[in-house]
Amino acid sequence: MTAKNLPFFKRRLMEVSKELYLQHGWDVPKGIVNQALRNPLNFSRAEWQQAKRAMADPQLVKAMFKQAWQSSDNAETLKAALEEKGFFLARGDRRGVVALDYQGEVYALARWSGVKAKDVKDRLPDVNKLPSVQERREEIAKRMSAQLQKYAVEINKAYHRKHPSIEFKRTQLVERHRDERKALDDRQRARWEQETAVRAARLPRGMGGLWSRITGKYSRIRTQNELDAWQCYCRDQAERDGLVSRQLDERQQLQRAVKRVRDQRSKDIADLHLELSAYLSMQRGHAATAKVKADIAKQPETPKKDKSRERDRSRGPGPDFNL
């Protein structure tokens, strides 16, 4: 027996255990199913995103159906157990019983619960009392449309909560950069005045200055002072350029953070609009489910091929008339 290190937090360990249960076909514990699948009409937006990922796992969905079937003993308790997980019973086209998820996808109750059609008929004898698939889709679409509109309001509120914080950071950054530039200007001005005084003190005065002009020493000192002044100017300019470059980098980092927040908000709103449009189509009686509508809307358009040009290229060379 080998002990393996699992350096994960408890939530990650729960994911590992869920994968093991699904991989080996064991009965998934109720706690795992309850946490992964719940009624999306009661979700926050974060829980809504998590639910969409959970619904994509067919093994987990099948485990939920089995658990709902085993925990119920009549039609009402089965209906309540399924609706708690976001599935709604309906009358199928062939007089069978199906369940619809929040996206309008149809699941055959017998097959997904792992039971026989006769067992479903015994537990749900009055199939005609159930709404049809289209009626149930329209009902789900109406309820989900209102829920998605709440999510849109939640996205805008979250953005407006973040915006003052980002604006405060921007204001602080502008003030700090202004103070840094002023401090550098003051420091360079004081240093320039001090260095100018040192260079001026090198020049001889009085009779010595007159003699140094005759010997050429004065000219050499003045040339050296001009060279030193130019080097000091280049040094100060390099310091200013370095400060400005660093401040621009900081401003760009903040601007990228602002852009990420805006882009994420725009993407979230656009995704909600796609899903809302799909639900509105369902509500108007279209047969396609919300999932299909949203997936089609997200697909990139493929350019149409010019078939006439393809035919021209596929033709062989014409007859050779050269004799």
Handedness of CA 209, 215, 219, 220 (dihedral sign): negative
CB neighbour burial string for 238-264, b if at least 16 within 10 angstroms, e if fewer: eeeeeeeeebeeeeeebeeebeebeee
pLDDT of 321 reads 35
Q: State how far Cα 219 lies from the chain centre.
A: 69
Helix ranges (DSSP H) in 56-132? 58-70, 75-84, 109-113, 117-123
For residue 98, which amino acid is it?
V
Q: What is the pLDDT along the chain (323 residues), one digit of tens a residue?
A: 566 566 555 555 666 665 666 555 555 555 554 444 455 556 566 655 655 655 556 777 888 888 889 889 899 999 998 988 888 999 987 768 999 887 788 889 998 898 998 999 999 988 888 999 888 888 888 888 888 878 888 888 888 787 788 888 889 999 999 999 999 999 999 999 999 998 888 888 887 877 877 788 888 888 998 999 999 999 999 999 999 999 999 999 999 988 888 888 888 887 777 777 777 777 666 555 555 555 555 555 555 555 444 444 444 554 443 43
Q: Could you identify the residue written with the tokens 């199906």? A: 98
Do the Cβ atoms of 68 and 80 come closer than 8 Å?
no
Q: Which pLDDT value is given to residue 177? A: 95
Beta-carbon contacts of 92 under 8 Å, excluding residues fewer than 6 positions away, are 98, 106, 108, 133
Q: What tokens appear for 56 in the block?
A: 């994509």
Provide the pLDDT for residue 322: 41
* Burial (0-12, 13-18, 19+ Cβ within 10 Å), 40: buried
What span, in angstroms and rounded, lies between the C-alpha atoms of 35 and 15?
11
- Cα dihedral 119→121→122→126 (10° resolution): 160
Tell me the two tokens of residue 76.
């009402």
For residue 85, the model assigns a pLDDT of 81
The C-alpha atoms of residue 73 and residue 237 are separated, in whole angstroms, by 84
Question: Measured between alpha carbons, how far is 222 from 88 in angstroms, rounded to an integer?
Answer: 95
Q: At what angle do helices 133-202 and 217-283 cross, to 10 degrees?
A: 170
How is residue 147 written in tokens? 């829920």
**Per-residue model confidence (pLDDT) at position 313:** 47
- Does this model's pTM top 0.75? My answer is no
* pLDDT value of residue 27: 59
pLDDT of residue 123: 93
Q: Where are the domains of the chain?
A: 19-131, 143-293
Three-state DSSP at 108 gives strand
